[in-house]
Structure formats: C-alpha cells, structure tokens
Amino acid sequence: MKADVSVIGLGKLGQCLAISLIHKKFKVIGVDNNLKVINSLGNGKVTVDEPKVQKALKENFKNIIFTEDIGFAVRNSNITIIIVGTPSDTYGKFSNKYVKSCLKDISKTIVDKKQIHHIVISSTVMPNSIDKIFIPYIENNFNLKKHEHYSISYCPELVALGSVFNDFLNPGMIIMGCSNEKASKKIRKIYNKWTDNSPEILEMNILNAEITKVAFNVYLTSKITFANNLYNIVNKLDGANIDTITNSLGMDYRISRYFMKGGLSFGGTCFPRDIKAYEYLNKKYIKDTTYTDTIVKINNRQDKLLYNVVIKNVNKFSTISILGLSFKPNTNVVDESPSIKLLASLIKLKNKINVFDSKAISNTKIIFGNKINYFEKLDLAIKDANLIVLLNPIGNFKNILNKTKRKIKLIDPWRLIDKSKLAKNIEYIHYK
C-alpha cells in the first residue's frame, strides 16, 4: 500500500494520531519498535485507553498498516510524522535520543529515494533541536541536503490525555514551523482534510514553534500554581470561598476559567516534565530559576498539605480509602498524580489502605504491588473505611457513601460533594 502519511511512535498520542488520520480517510503506515503494540494493533486492538479510537480503528482497518520497519514506512510514503517519546534527561531537557534514532533510520532510506521526503517532528523537543541538532545530524551523517532530499517541520500537538482523538480532529489551533514553502503547503493540506473545525494555523519559524510549545504548558502550570496559592490564603479567612473568587476571575476574557481551580497539585506526563525543561532554559539563558523554583515549591506544598490533612484525621487503626488514582479523570495515566504521591507517603504508616479507580488500577499496581488493596467496585473500597480521600470525580459516589451507616471522615479537595447533602455519619474534613 502506498500511504499518504507514515507515523512513527504509536504510544499514547501517536496511536490516536494515526487512527484519527485513517478516520479522515488518509492511508497510513504506523510504526513502532514495540512488537507488543504492533501485534495488538495488527490484530485490530488498540493499546491506549482513549475514547473513540478503538471504533475508528475497526471502521478503517483496511487503510492502515502496522510495522516495526521505518525503512518500509519511508519508502511507501512521502510524509513521516515522528511522535516518539522525549523523556526528561538528567539535566531536565527533553531527550532527543528516540527522535534521533528515528531520523537515523529515515535518513538511511531517504538516501535511495527519488522524491523529496517531508519529515514532521511532532514530539515535544527543546528549542533549537531541529536547526542545531537534527539538521546537522542528518546532513553530516547521511550526506543529505535539505530541500533536495528532505524537508523538516515542527508541528507540536496541544492535545490532552482523555480526549486525544477528539483533540486531533478539533484542535484549538495549529502551531507549525516549516523549513520551506513546499513543506508548509503539504502539511497545510493534511491539516485541512484532517481537522473538523478549520482551526487557525499559526505558522512561524521552527525555533518559535519549539518555544511556543514549551511555553504553553508552563503557562498552564503557572495558572494552576496561582490558583493553589490563592486557595491556601483564602482558606485562612473565615467566610471567604475560593470557588466564588476563582470563578469570578475566570469570567474575565483575559484570564479564562480553565486551570483556575484551587485544589491539588498538578501531575501527569507533561506538566512536571515541561517545568523541568523550562527550568533548564531559565538556568541556561538567564541563570536564575526563581520562577520555576516557585512553581515546583508551591506544587509540592499542595502535596504536603494533603498529606498533613490525612495524617491529622487518622490513627494507627484507621483504614484509608483513596478514590481516584489517575492524575486527572478519564485516563489510566498515574504519573506524578496527587494520589500516587500521597500513597507513596502513606504506605510508610502501615495503615490499611484501599484504593479505587475505574481505569488506573493496573498502572497503580505496577508501583505499589501488594502494599495496598485494590478495588474495582466502589462500595467494597469504602466498606471498612474510616477516612475517604476523594481525588477524582466518581459517578455514583455520593449515593453509595450516603448508604453507609458507619462514621466516616471525608476529604474532598476539589469540593466535588455538596457537604450540606451528606448523611450525619459523614464528617466533612476541610482540605486546608
């Protein structure tokens, strides 16, 4: 099959990206070096827990080939999107090692191609990676010439876990930096057919696109940090209500209501990593990390606050039930989630700990093994609880809780439950 696009890296994002492309009738070759992923996808089964992806794969299965072979993908397409992981290195930078490994295999194949090949980097990379690292790497090692043999562009994704497939089809905007006009035209054509919502395309030079992507998430963590800092002040003032205040701030068009709710620390696969990368940039270019130090400090402070409130409300006989394990609702990702950070401290206490989550149990088991008790049924998870910590919204939680007759304390940092509607045996503990 001659494909319109090849996609290298079929992880949390790449899998949704490739399948959203076939959903819009592109022919795609999907590549990953993890044989388990390739086998599963080849058998029609997705390995990510994201809405709509499984159905879209089933409906468009004939339009995609899965392989481990980058050479095959490059020979049979003229555009390759690289969306492999870029984990933090020891300096806090996004590591380029997986991207470079892909570029090596792509370059080896391009040498023998007659047509120009368009390389699109979608992985999050440090500023100047493309101009100062990837292009010299390709040209010095493989004797390739930009715009004679290949073009290279940066198109970072601004999608969120839990809605990745939908976000690819309805992005708020497209950020795009291309090495030349020809590449820009090619990629615009793809976005025009791929997206449902005709987003604005913000085209800029590659360096600006690289910086914009990092700046995005850093700005969002700054908003969360502000809301959390304000939360802590407001809680010291009798009669003040954090949600009244932040909802009002969010009404202003200059501020917006998103990421403006005081509560728990941020976590996940992106924010903590992006802050590390930004800290590196602060160190390197202005030799002052006050800004990122403050964000990290305030974020850690929220974790400590949660731990302290829990500790104050248990004794050595208490059973603690933690409800919600993922870093945000509707995902199975637990990386640096407030629950996982809390559990890491609580297991030292030797209390009985029960946990519940509808999606993230197996990822939590990998971290804590048999040190805690896992439940896939909510009523069983809280059956013997003395303290419940509700960290993500859970559909029927209030009804199940109100059926219990025992005395239970409840910590609800996101104010998900209306405390005035709780049964008398439930004591609402303020997270402050």
Contact residues toward ligand NAD (CB under 6 A) are 8-14, 31-34, 37, 83-86, 98, 101-102, 123-124, 157, 159, 161, 269-270
**For residues 33 and 208, which CB has a smaller minimum distance to ligand NAD in the complex?**
33
Q: Count CB atoms within 10 A of the CB of residue 349.
A: 13
**For residues 2 and 36, which CB has a smaller minimum distance to ligand NAD in the complex?**
36
Bridge partners of 190?
Answer: none
Give the residue nearest to ligand NAD (CB): 11
Least distance to ligand NAD, CB of residue 171, Å: 11
Least distance to ligand NAD, CB of residue 70, Å: 6
Closest Cα to residue 275, out of 340, 343, 221?
221
Phi, psi of 203 (to 5 degrees): -95, 135
Closest Cα to residue 153, out of 135, 173, 169?
135
Least distance to ligand NAD, CB of residue 331, Å: 9
Residues in the chain: 432
Least distance to ligand NAD, CB of residue 71, Å: 11
**For residues 219 and 428, which CB has a smaller minimum distance to ligand NAD in the complex?**
219
d(CA 281, CA 289) in angstroms, rounded, equals 9
**For residues 119 and 381, which CB has a smaller minimum distance to ligand NAD in the complex?**
119
Least distance to ligand NAD, CB of residue 259, Å: 15
Least distance to ligand NAD, CB of residue 35, Å: 10
**For residues 34 and 128, which CB has a smaller minimum distance to ligand NAD in the complex?**
34
Q: Count CB atoms within 10 A of the CB of residue 159.
A: 22
Least distance to ligand NAD, CB of residue 250, Å: 23
Copy the structure tokens of residue 304. 């400590």
**For residues 12 and 149, which CB has a smaller minimum distance to ligand NAD in the complex?**
12
Least distance to ligand NAD, CB of residue 180, Å: 24
Q: What is the 3-state secondary structure (H, E, C) of the chain?
A: CCCCEEEECCCCCHHHHHHHHHHCCCCEEEECCCHHHHHHHHCCCCCCCCCCHHHHHHHCHHHEEEECCHHHHHHCCCEEEECCCCCECCCCCECCHHHHHHHHHHHHHHCCCCCCEEEEECCCCCCCHHHHHHHHHHHHHHCCCECCCEEEEECCCCCCCCCHHHHHHCCCEEEEEECCHHHHHHHHHHHHHHCCCCCEEEEECHHHHHHHHHHHHHHHHHHHHHHHHHHHHHCCCCCCCHHHHHHHHHCCCCCCCCCCCCCCCCCCCCHHHHHHHHHHHHHHHHCCCHHHHHHHHHHHHHHHHHHHHHHHCCCCCCEEEEECCCCCCCCCCCCCCHHHHHHHHHHHHCCEEEEECCCCHHHHHHHHHHHCEEECCHHHHHCCCCEEEECCCCCCHHHHHHHCCCCEEEECCCCCCCHHHCCCCEEEECCC
Least distance to ligand NAD, CB of residue 98, Å: 4
Least distance to ligand NAD, CB of residue 237, Å: 36
**For residues 10 and 360, which CB has a smaller minimum distance to ligand NAD in the complex?**
10
d(CA 110, CA 384) in angstroms, rounded, equals 63
**For residues 155 and 260, which CB has a smaller minimum distance to ligand NAD in the complex?**
155
**For residues 75 and 415, which CB has a smaller minimum distance to ligand NAD in the complex?**
75
Least distance to ligand NAD, CB of residue 30, Å: 10
